[in-house]
Structure 1
Amino acid sequence: MTQIDYYLAPQSPWVYLAGTRPAEIAARHGARLVYKPLDAAQLFPRTGGKVRAERHPSRNEYSQQDRARQARKLGLKLDQAPLFGAANPAPAAYAIIAAQAAGGGDIAALVAGFGRALWAEGRDISDDEVIRATLQTAGFDPAVADRGLLMAAETYAANLEDAVARGVFGVPFFVVGDQKFWGQDRLDDLDLFLAGKL
């Protein structure tokens, strides 16, 4: 079975805009999608990038316009300055890792739920109640993140090292064998590649 490694950060607006499409593409091609949440704030400087606060204003202005266009195209609400935009993303990432290990729910819905909570609903994805509610809505035991905390923290750090070693430099990022696809705007290319058309 083909495996798609999906490197993501739950606070990324681009991961939010990707939504459940990665899972839909994987299902269409009978591929296994493995979610690999990581610390994007550490990934960027290690791979030649900069966090948003350190980028030139022209880059940030363009990115803001592009996010708004993509959200409209996808029919998604997007608050460009979310109330909890600076919240620590690690607890949500840990929940994704623990839920994936435990099974029994819908990981795609969980990832999309964290994105929606932050970018469309003004909620804090580092808050225990938000995490538990998002887990439950996606069909997971709300306590799964508590039970898997240590394993999730270790995996979160390992995912960063794995990403750097494999040439990942942003999120969302998809790796299939030696083929790499960066950004939610390359999901069509991933789909075509899996279909043998690219």
Structure 2
Amino acid sequence: MARKPLKPPKLYFSFRSPYSWLTMRRLRAAVPNVLETFDVYPYWDPDQRTSRELAEAGGEFHYAQMSRAKHLYILMDTKRLAQAEGVPMAWPIDVDPFWELPHLGWLRARAAGKANEFYDAVIEARWGRGENICEPEVLTGCAEQAGLDPVSIVDAHLDDAIRKEGTGCLYQAYLDDIFAVPYLKWGQHRFWGLDRVDAFLRVFQADDETPAVQPPAKPETAYDTDQAGGCG
């Protein structure tokens, strides 16, 4: 058997994506410390400022907006998947969403040692209650539930350092040819979508002589030449 990569897997997630939510549920059931031991990158539709800074860094956003027909299919498909797993779900309505708010808020929560708590609070609000997590009032409640200062979370998008970190996440996604989430990348192994989680876990949990993955000091920024694949 080939030796496992020595560096941690990269996990790209989005609060927007129902498949990302369901993927994270499965991953955390199998690897409870995912958010601490994997290189985790939030991935979202950037606003004008983030888009400009991403372009200035030499990157671009690979994701293409879906059609109404695809959106309706995902709605039905997600409800079917959630029901099959016995998970209650309320479909949120996104009106002019400002995705920097929850995703940059999560980066600040992670810096405060509350990545799991804030993630869970946002997921509960979005997929459990169908709330608009891009509204400051909703995110305030999530921050309070996670034991965080609400103002620091809601105002994270105003912090230049957090903005730079967020742009860095999307730039790394550009380097890794990420075109949609959820996406797992480990060495040359790539797994896109909820239906590839089990395939990833088979590789990740396979027995060999490689030492266990240790928490990363900081995300890597090396470019690889794999091409994006798949559809959608």
- Whole-Å separation in 2 of the counterparts to 1:85 and 1:189: 35
Residue in 1 that maps onto 2:171: 161
- Within 5 A, what are the aligned runs for 1:1-198? 2-27=7-32, 32-40=37-45, 46-47=61-62, 50-52=64-66, 55=67, 57=69, 59-80=70-91, 82-84=92-94, 86-103=96-113, 105=114, 107-145=115-153, 146=155, 149-196=159-206
Maintained 8 Å contact 1:114/1:125: yes
CA RMSD between the two structures: 3.0
My pick for the range that moved more, 4-13 or 19-28, is 19-28
- Whole-Å separation in 1 of the counterparts to 2:93 and 2:68: 23
- The secondary structure found in structure 2 opposite 1:3 is coil
Q: Which stretches in structure 1 are left out of the alignment for 5+ residues?
A: none
Q: TM-score, normalised by structure 2?
A: 0.67
Inter-CA distance 46–132: structure 2 relative to 1 (3 Å threshold): closer
Cα deviation, residue 185, structure 1: 2.6
Cα deviation, residue 92, structure 1: 0.2
- Whole-Å separation in 2 of the counterparts to 1:34 and 1:85: 31
Identity %: 21
Maintained 8 Å contact 1:23/1:33: no
Over residues 74-102 of structure 1, what are the superposed CA-to-partner deviations in whole Å (9 max), with x where a residue is unaligned? 2223334x233542221000111111122
Greater helix share, 1 or 2?
Answer: 1
Cα deviation, residue 162, structure 1: 0.8
- Whole-Å separation in 2 of the counterparts to 1:21 and 1:40: 24
Q: Which stretches in structure 2 are left out of the alignment for 5+ residues?
A: 1-5, 52-59, 208-232
- Whole-Å separation in 2 of the counterparts to 1:23 and 1:88: 27
- Whole-Å separation in 1 of the counterparts to 2:22 and 2:40: 16
